Structure 1
Amino acid sequence: MAFTRATGKHRARSQMSRTSARAAGAATLTATGVIGTLAASPAFAGGAADAQAASHTGLTGAVALGDDLAGTVDDQADAQARAAAQERARAVAKAEAERRAEARAKEARAEEIRAAREAERKRLNTFQLPVAGSYVTTGYQSGGSLWSSGSHSGVDFRAASGTPVVSVGTGTVVEAGWGGSYGNNIVIRMHDGTYTQYGHLSSIGVSVGQSVTPGQQIGLSGATGNVTGPHLHFEARTSPDYGSDMDPVGYLRAHGVNL
């Protein structure tokens, strides 16, 4: 009687399939440490040799390469961190240098302002004689018939006709022209609110509203008005009007003028 092999699911596996299965099983045993245990026995000495040989395959090299790459990445990260820290330090140093430079510039500007104010204060408070190198020939409140009020309302400075007459300080001209018995005269409002008058001029060199500085020429001395000879009549006043006079010598001395 002839027998036939059943077909389909009852067919035995091929030699190739059995080999693949054994390989898969070996891989599983290796993963669980079984092969490592068996390799220690004499019966599996050959397997141990095979495992040792496997340690020199590309897998070990790949692990070493991965370690090198990780080290390189760490080195680059450290270098970048150091560079960032150095950049921050440079930025902080630059900001500090700029702050100090700005502070120095601010202080320099403040010093310039203080110096300018001091110079202006000195200029405003600088007074001098109305006629350079001159002296008083007739004192304040001297009596006599020469003055309608009975006394001298100012002082007379010796000055030949045509001698330059200057402003004794900083101020603004409020009167410039004929002044009756004063002849050609100039009245200046000084920076401190007082007034000075210059009389008997032969000529006037300024106009009303003009600003003048200490020592600036404002006219020439003469003998116009009620006089007996050329000289400069000088008054210090509390207002621009006649009758508000004060001691001209004391006024000039109070402003640092020696006479």
Structure 2
Amino acid sequence: MAFTRATGKHRRPSRMQRGTARAAGVAALAGTGVVGSLTAPALAAEPAAAQTGLTPVITLGDAVADRIDAQAAAQHEAAREAAEAAARKAAEEAAREKAAEEAEKARAEKERAAREAERERLNTFVSPIPGSYVSTGYKSGGAVWSSGSHTGVDFHAASGTAVQSVGIGTVVEAGWGGAYGNQVVIRMNDGTYTQYAHLSSIAVSVGQQVTAGQRIGLSGATGNVTGAHLHFEARTGADYGSDLDPVAYLRAHGVSL
């Protein structure tokens, strides 16, 4: 008996055509990266091509496609969350660095202000009797002074007028000073000395720290005087004979007389 092969549009595809179609489907899946992970078991389950002479075919249903989409969405979400976490971490680190810089700047400014305030405090000088004036000048001559000239200046002041330290220093003498009567001698912060004489009373003691404007006693007429006033001297040392021009001394420290 002889068989004839079907012809026309209803003819069944040949084995070669079916294999070609299957290969095209596999190639398309390979482009998506799915073949290696999702279809390996299916490939392994089929007989090897060398054994059967057939080209393996993988068929993906809707369930597998949904799994692929879900995996892709999960990976996208994980990448988005990682990017957001990295951005938050960077922002937090930048905020910490900025806060540290601002704290350091504030600390430095505070230290600078403190140094400036201390410098100003140490260099602040005032008149020994605010509002008074010099009644007898430096180096004035006369028999009343044993050296033949005035070694300080006299500030006009009624008895009992408050006398203040002209600056920061340490009291080195506080008591009777012979012709000077009751006196206070202060070693100033810059190493010079100031003297306040003929006081009616003394308000400080030796070794005491005093500041500019602090009351150290009251003016009077003790010692070798003809009336109440304050005798003020500026010196390079604590003792008599090392005098400086008191007015020039005070003006050099910013005091207007």
TM-score by length of 1: 0.75
Task: Check if 1:232 corresponds to 2:233.
Answer: no
Among candidates 80, 104, 107, match of residue 106 of structure 1: 104
Among candidates 126, 131, 138, match of residue 128 of structure 1: 126
1:52-90 C-alpha deviation (Å, 9 max, x unpaired): xxxxxxx95x64322321221221122111111111111
Among candidates 186, 189, 208, match of residue 187 of structure 2: 189
Q: CA 1:35 to 1:140, structure 2 compared with 1: closer, same or farther past 3 Å?
A: closer
Q: CA 1:35 to 1:122, structure 2 compared with 1: closer, same or farther past 3 Å?
A: closer
Distance 1:139 1:210 in 2: 30
Partner of 1:175: 173
User: In the alignment, residue 90 of structure 1 is paired with which amino acid?
Assistant: R
| Secondary structure, aligned partner of 1:214 | coil
Among candidates 243, 247, 252, match of residue 241 of structure 2: 243
Partner of 1:211: 209
User: In the alignment, residue 128 of structure 1 is paired with which amino acid?
Assistant: V
Partner of 1:149: 147
Partner of 2:114: 116
Distance 1:137 1:34 in 2: 133
Distance 1:90 1:36 in 2: 55
Shift of 1:173: 1.2
Shift of 1:36: 4.7
1:79-133 C-alpha deviation (Å, 9 max, x unpaired): 1111111111111111111111221121112111111211222222211110111
Distance 1:254 1:35 in 2: 113
Q: CA RMSD in A?
A: 1.9
| Secondary structure, aligned partner of 2:108 | helix
Partner of 2:92: 94
User: In the alignment, residue 146 of structure 1 is paired with which amino acid?
Assistant: V
Partner of 2:70: 72
- Out of 102-111 and 192-201, give the one that drifted further: 102-111
Distance 1:135 1:217 in 2: 18
Task: Check if 1:83 corresponds to 2:87.
Answer: no
Distance 1:162 1:226 in 2: 17
Distance 2:195 2:17 in 1: 127
Identity percentage of aligned residues? 65
Distance 1:152 1:207 in 2: 27
| Secondary structure, aligned partner of 1:209 | coil
Distance 2:111 2:17 in 1: 94
Partner of 2:6: none
Distance 2:249 2:220 in 1: 24
Point out the structure with max Rg over C-alpha: 1
User: In the alignment, residue 229 of structure 1 is paired with which amino acid?
Assistant: G
| Secondary structure, aligned partner of 1:141 | coil
| Secondary structure, aligned partner of 2:80 | helix
Partner of 1:7: none
| Secondary structure, aligned partner of 1:131 | coil
User: In the alignment, residue 232 of structure 2 is paired with which amino acid?
Assistant: F
Aligned length: 206
Distance 2:147 2:135 in 1: 19
